[in-house]
Structure 1
Amino acid sequence: MVKKSATRPADIYLRFLQLAEAIRGMPSLPPLEPLEERILELVARASQEQERLSVRDMMAKQELGSPATIHGRLKSMREKGWIMLSETEDARRKQIDLTQAALIHFDKLSKCLLKAAKG
């Protein structure tokens, strides 16, 4: 008989994934494609670090694909309600910001993480 040990870090992470999946099933924002999720993470991290991230900055990230691909994903994410573009002092540059709905989504994920850690 295998004795169940204390909760392993992997168990916490797997419980978090299960809780996060439940949130994705709730009606809120439309789901993102994998590249859009990667972009959202970059925008969220920049926001957390209080850095400005412009469309031009994002399009320069070659690891995300061509500028046309990135532009298309940013447009899709705006239409889905995840991001918004804000004016800057340079009218030619638009800053990428999270919408209030995206911030609420991150709040829900944070609660899932805390719940998973508590067991």
Structure 2
Amino acid sequence: MPNRPADIFLRFLQLAEAVRGLPSLPALDPLEERILMLVARAGQDQQRLSVRDMMAKHELGAPATVHTRLKSMREKGWIMLADTEDGRRKQVELTQAALQHFDKLSQCMVKAAKAVS
């Protein structure tokens, strides 16, 4: 039976789950994962994303909830807050450890594609 494109994705999920089990960074809850993806995409697009910008995203929930999650993610080592020209605003950025996590996920993607093809 020929391999389906879904097989690649399912293999990726399996490999990614193994990466998540590694003791590199503490686990994220689903909302924190969504926030992480937003921060990663903004960084990839070279867009500035401040704490205030994140708190204004209604799809993430109440501003207080977003603020709490950002604080948690910072303590877990996933994000950092960088200074801007306005000392009252902080830029949300991925840490080096978070970037390494994405590198590992990328390797999982490549491995999954090779294993199924």
Q: TM-score range by the shorter chain?
A: over 0.9
Q: State the 1:105 CA deviation.
A: 0.1
Q: Residue 85 of structure 2: SS of its match in structure 1?
A: coil
Runs of 4 or more above 2 Å deviation:
none
User: What is the TM-score normalised by the length of structure 1?
Assistant: 0.95
Indicate yes or no: 2:58 matched with 1:62.
yes
Matching residue of 2:23 = 27
Q: Residue 96 of structure 1: SS of its match in structure 2?
A: strand
Q: State the 1:25 CA deviation.
A: 1.0
User: What is the TM-score normalised by the length of structure 2?
Assistant: 0.97
Distance in 2 separating the partners of 1:43 and 1:29: 17
Q: How many residues align?
A: 115
Residues 9-42 of structure 1, C-alpha deviations (whole Å, 9 max, x = no match): 1000000000000111111000000000000000
Unaligned runs of 5+ in 1: none
RMSD: 0.5
Unaligned runs of 5+ in 2: none
Q: Which has the larger Rg?
A: 1
Fraction of identical pairs, as percent: 77
Residues 37-76 of structure 1, C-alpha deviations (whole Å, 9 max, x = no match): 0000000000001111000000000110111000000000
Distance in 2 separating the partners of 1:11 and 1:33: 26
